[in-house]
Amino acid sequence: MNTQKSRRNFLQLFAASAVTLPFLPVSGLASNLSGLQEPYDGPVLRVAIMGLGGYGTRVAEAMRDCRKAKLAGVVSGTPAKIKDWQHKYSIPEKNCYNYQTFEQLKDNPDIDAVYITTPNALHHDQVIRVARTGKHVICEKPMALNAKEGQEMIDACKKAGVKLLVGYRMHFEPKTLEVIRMRKAGEFGKVMFFQGQCGFNIGDPKQWRLNKQLAGGGSLMDIGIYAINGARYMIGEDPVWVTAQETKTQPDRFTEGVDETIQFQLGFPGGAVASCLSTYTMNNLDRFFLTGEKGFAEMQPSTGYGPIKGRTHKGELTQPHTVHQTVQMEEMADILLSDKSPVVPVDGEEGLKDLKIIDAIYLAAKTGKKVTLRL
């Protein structure tokens, strides 16, 4: 009965399409037909998600549309969540673990990689433990609380012979990649200045992002890292110095070690400078601006879940909106299974550079001095 119904629906859809096809211009017809993807029969990355909170859920939902990656397992400390995910995503019992048992992954051939979406402070130990199971690791940003932890994670993954990737979804976003292409092609000329503004009102004071022990900091760790990373891929260089200033207007809400607002400046070897803002008390801040001797690029929103919008001196950016996490996981499957090299790196070394800059920003804000960077 279901088969008949499905067949009837297909025939009705086909008939409707046949009516409209003659009225499409040839170019429109070609683009529509090109959207019909060929069946995929290549390798598939089988992923277990560790941390079944809001972002883990977002990744899981996005992976429903992946061809090269699929959700195969879960790791959680909440049995009820595991049961819910088992039912929702058809995950077998043998692929479900808690934080005490996930070392048993080493004996599970059905899982290739673990995506860690837990609070920042847990990343270090969890990445190292997963690496020891022989599984590849994808870690949400920031990769760790500081550069020392990040280096230890990289070393552990190298020792175990597994790859470590960081969830830099913007590295695969079409409009972002177009700006990078234009910069590489010299269409902006010599890059002179970058501005990155990242901020929102954080809300619930009891959430883990405002807990120093779990978050490792405040707005800089959570969203300021987008401006840090964005400055690097927009300018195409790594900074050599940093200065920074911290402002705290609500000390009762943002306790010691949890930054509310930080402004920071970066200097680059080619002469470009960056001026950036990271805050947990102002909305409507999600903007990148780049200018060079020949042109400019502006993106607003620049790093949100989308749609990303942008324009350059040549006009509006018209690349299609994509679900960031879907594209990210497709691309990461190619990186992990086929050794593909992305346009912008997403490996542990990339994450470590951002951590070194974060360390330097905190130091500069504390001392009031310019801090030299050696990345």
The pairing of beta strand 285-292 with beta strand 191-199: antiparallel
Residue at 111 is within a domain: yes
- Note whether residue 338 is domain-resident: no
Name the residue range of residue 264's domain: 170-320+348-372
Q: DSSP secondary-structure letter at 257? A: T
pLDDT band, residue 350 (cuts 50/70/90): very high
* pLDDT beyond 90 at 235: yes
Write out the catalytic residue numbers: 141, 226
CATH number, domain containing residue 258: 3.30.360.10
pLDDT tens column, 43-67: 999 999 999 999 999 999 999 999 9
Same-domain pairing of 67 and 132: yes
Residue where one domain finishes, among candidates 168, 202, 228: 168
Report the CATH number at residue 81: 3.40.50.720
pLDDT of the residue at 352 = 98
Contact 285/197 with Cβ under 8 angstroms?
Answer: yes
* Cβ contact 108:73 at 8 Å: yes
pLDDT digits (tens, 9 = 90+) for 208-230: 999 999 999 999 999 999 999 99
Asked which of 137, 168, 199 is the last residue of a domain, the reply is: 168
- What region does 90 belong to: left with phi over 0, alpha with psi -120 to 50, or beta? left
Whether 334 is in a domain gets the answer no
Q: Is the pLDDT of residue 3 over 90?
A: no
Three-class SS of 84-142: HHHHHHCCCHHHEECCCCHHHHHHCCCCCEEEECCCHHHHHHHHHHHHHCCCEEEECCC
Domain total of the chain: 2
Q: Is residue 81 part of a domain?
A: yes
